[in-house]
Amino acid sequence: MADEIDYRIYGNEMQLVEIGLDKGETVKAEAGAMMFMGDGIKMETSTGGGILKGLKRAISGESFFITSFTQTGSGKGSVAFGAPYPGKIMPIDLKEEGGSFICQKDSFLCAADGTDVTIAFSKRIGAGLFGGEGFILQRLHGDGLAFIHAGGTVLKKELAPGETLRVDTGCLVAFSESIDYDIQFVGGFKNALFGGEGVVLATVKGPGTVYLQSLPFSRLADRIAAAIGPAESNRGESGGISGIGESALGGILGGDRKF
């Protein structure tokens, strides 16, 4: 059984969630998400159940380690977690969702102790190969509260049996296990080449709950990159061979494959 935690969400565009914990209660969070905690809170970082669980989280887009926060003092304690970029924090009651919920990579923020974050493979190979969420999604499993984060404004849609939505793949945040998720190729050469919406759309079919976001992080990152300009323009600012070496090493460690 998951711990029954209290919470309050603050802010509009850059939200944080403050969790209230009674003595002995625990909340676990993605490493680096903590904003502040009270005196009686004990923090412990681990793999959360062995190397295998850590690897599953890493594959699903989260960090290898997870941090637990337990109220060890008397009375009520509190710990707060901040959103990583502009958007909304959404509470998901897993008990109401049948014990599990599917969400995109990197969306998990924190959850009551007793909640597991594991990988969820797409049921259809097409959705895995071409969908914006990739072949691997996250599954939140348990019977307590979990909190996920999405970019921009969040829209919750309740789909009736057989009701279908076609969604930009990056805008699909999370959905019920009962949702049928697949991808659909955009028809027409001009639509695919010049439409700007990508070659494929995600299709979600009810019954179930679907969360959509107006600002996928990938879209925000693309706009920032376009405003900054080519990365090459910032390379080699340090003079001589050492500057070239530092630039190359920084690009390789940062995931730049243009070397």
DSSP letter, residue 4: -
With respect to residue 219, please indicate whether it lies within any of the assigned structural domains. yes
With respect to residue 73, please indicate whether it lies within any of the assigned structural domains. yes
Q: What are 155's two structure tokens?
A: 């829209």
- Termini Cα distance of the chain: 51
- Cα separation, 147 vs 18, in Å, equals 11
With respect to residue 236, please indicate whether it lies within any of the assigned structural domains. no
Number of domains in the chain: 1
With respect to residue 105, please indicate whether it lies within any of the assigned structural domains. yes
What is the pLDDT, as a whole number, of residue 237? 44
Find tokens 């959360």 and name the residue: 48
pTM value?
A: 0.75
- Cα separation, 148 vs 109, in Å, equals 5
Q: Walk along the chain (259 residues) and give the pLDDT tens digit of each residue.
A: 667 889 999 998 889 999 999 999 999 998 888 999 999 999 998 766 556 665 655 555 556 578 899 999 888 999 999 988 889 999 999 999 999 999 987 888 999 988 888 877 665 545 444 444 445 788 899 999 999 999 999 999 999 999 999 998 889 999 999 999 888 776 555 555 554 555 678 889 999 999 999 988 877 777 788 888 775 545 444 444 444 444 544 554 444 444 4
CATH of the domain at 35: 3.60.160.10
With respect to residue 241, please indicate whether it lies within any of the assigned structural domains. no
With respect to residue 61, please indicate whether it lies within any of the assigned structural domains. yes
Range of the domain at 61: 6-228
With respect to residue 15, please indicate whether it lies within any of the assigned structural domains. yes
What is the pLDDT, as a whole number, of residue 60? 52
